[in-house]
Amino acid sequence: MLANVNATRMELLNLRRRVALAQRGHRLLSEKRDELSRQLIRIAREIQPLREKVEKELLETCRRFMLARATMEPEHTKAALEVPTKRLSLTIDFARVMNVRVPHLLKEISGEIICYGFATTSGELDVALMALERAFDSLIELAEKGKQARLLAVELNMTRRRVNVLEHVVIPELHETIRFIYDKLSEAERDNTTRLMKIADIIRA
């Protein structure tokens, strides 16, 4: 690679400009990497208790449904849940975190989750459905933060790779090339000085 480099002062100037640009890019990417790490750690700390909350709520919901099934006739359970009147729709909005588009889920809910008469149903079914309704909010929030964490993690890995390439490959290679050109120019200057001294000696003789 170095053998193909033009050892000129213009090339040396261009390389020094490239080093300055690479160092600036390295600094900006390092700052982005650090901020992405902080954001990812923050979301990860929010996800852990949220996941535990969702697991607890879903476990409670399943337990209540099992109690409801145990206290109701199968055909009554089926009839009670056959025609739901609760409607849930999600819309996705996007925000930017360090130039990464992360989703924000917005829910729209209409109707009532209890859509049956009370003559043939158990109170446990009411409790189970209300527990399921509460779990929806936590599930949506967990899905949102999980997706945000995945997107930030992908961007963090890409940024780390770019920082490493600049730090361990690009900048060292540029410095090596600069040293090579500088040595070549210094050598040429010494040769030129030697020739001038010889010419001066010849003239004086």
Contact 172, 1 (CB under 8 A): no
pLDDT tops 80 at residue 76: no
pLDDT tops 80 at residue 167: yes
**Residue 111: strand, helix, or coil:** coil
pLDDT band with cut points at 50, 70 and 90 for residue 108: confident
Provide the pLDDT for residue 142. 93
Tokens of residue 40, six digits? 């990812």
The type of residue at 156 is: L
pLDDT tops 80 at residue 26: yes
Domains of the chain, start order: 24-162 (1.10.287.3240)
pLDDT tops 90 at residue 91: no
For residue 97, CA distances in Å to 25, 28, 43, 44, 87 come to: 19, 15, 12, 15, 31
Residue-wise pLDDT for 146-165, tens only, equals: 999 999 999 999 999 999 99
pLDDT band with cut points at 50, 70 and 90 for residue 126: confident
